[in-house]
A and B are shown apart, each in its own frame.
Chain A
Amino acid sequence: MKHRLLPRPALSVTLFLLWAALSNAASAGMLLLGALLALLLPHIVSSFWPDAPRLARPSLAIRFAGRIAWDMLLANWAVARRVVGPVSALHPAFVEVPLDLRDPFAATVLGSIVSLTPGTVSIDVDRERWVLQVHALDAPDPDALIRQIKQHYETPIREIFAC
């Protein structure tokens, strides 16, 4: 079921907040313009997103964002140490993470998170086999990395988007 006026409420809210942040001023005119954009833009881009999943649990999404921020801090530190340390001690590896989710948008979100958390870059999402190909800077134990990505990131994403 789609709401006629607001086809994507989450996108509208994000656009409005982004506009408020960019204009940096809370004048009534600017906010009105932002509200207008937040109403119109989702209609204009809706054809690019034929079936984006529903945000099933917004509260979990916010908590999840907080945890990613914390993970990024820790992992930045870990990568910084490895970059300065001896290069020969690194174990770079290509790792294939088998996915349980079956939604292109959720897979993109997962891939972006994997790329943003230091030490891993997502290379490819194979949508035939549903495998996320990841390059790890230092993965002495690839199975542990796969478990970590699945438990830490994939499971919450599946709950958030209900897919």
Chain B
Amino acid sequence: MNPFIEFVVASLIVVGALFALLGSVGLARLPDFFTRLHGPTKATTLGVGAMVLASALYFTAMRDGVSLHEIAVMMFLFITAPVSAHLLAKAALHRQRREADKAQ
């Protein structure tokens, strides 16, 4: 494989892993549910984005033809990540309200 492509693939994997790690660090460090929600929803955008791009580049260089599975993976993630974050946040808000009602 071309050393230049090898270098690009390696850097993309490292960047992706780094942002996935930072998402987990956020999950561990941030103080409450709503701030913690930011970590994992964000790790998907740049972390997975970079890794998926690396995969597309690698398999395009290794085999004949272009590898485009990865674009589909990215699209599905970008459509579903906001939905799950939205539902988690809504559920948390609902529980908070119920507990506030009970306390009164």
Contacts and interface: CB of A to CB of B under 8 A. Distances in A.
Do A and B interact?
A: yes
Contacts of B45: 72, 76, 116, 118
B46 interface: yes
Contacts of A135: 34, 37-38, 89
A111 B81 contact: no
Interface string A1-32: 00000000000000000101110111000000
Interface stretch (A45-53, A121-129, A150-158): A121-129
B69 interface: yes
A119 interface: yes
B58 to A, nearest CB: 14
Interface stretch (A36-44, A83-91, A96-104): A83-91
Contacts, number: 90
Contacts of A123: 86, 89-90, 93
B35 A122 contact: no
A120 to B, nearest CB: 8
Given A21-B69, A115-B81, A92 B22 contact: no
Interface in B71-100: 71-72, 75, 78-79, 81-83, 85-86, 89-90, 93
A87 B81 contact: no
Contacts of B32: 92
B69 A111 contact: no
A20 B34 CA distance: 38
A35 interface: no
Given A21-B68, A24-B68, A122-B82, A87 B41 contact: no
B38 A119 contact: yes
A79 interface: yes
B30 A87 contact: yes
A122 B86 contact: yes
Contacts of A26: 65
A72 B46 contact: yes
13 contacts: A20-B68, A24-B69, A25-B65, A72-B45, A83-B30, A111-B86, A115-B41, A119-B38, A121-B38, A123-B90, A124-B86, A135-B89, A137-B30
Interface of B: 19, 22, 25-26, 29-32, 34-35, 37-39, 41-42, 45-46, 65, 67-69, 71-72, 75, 78-79, 81-83, 85-86, 89-90, 93
Interface of A: 18, 20-22, 24-26, 72-73, 76, 79-80, 83-84, 87, 90, 92, 94, 111-112, 115-116, 118-119, 121-124, 135, 137
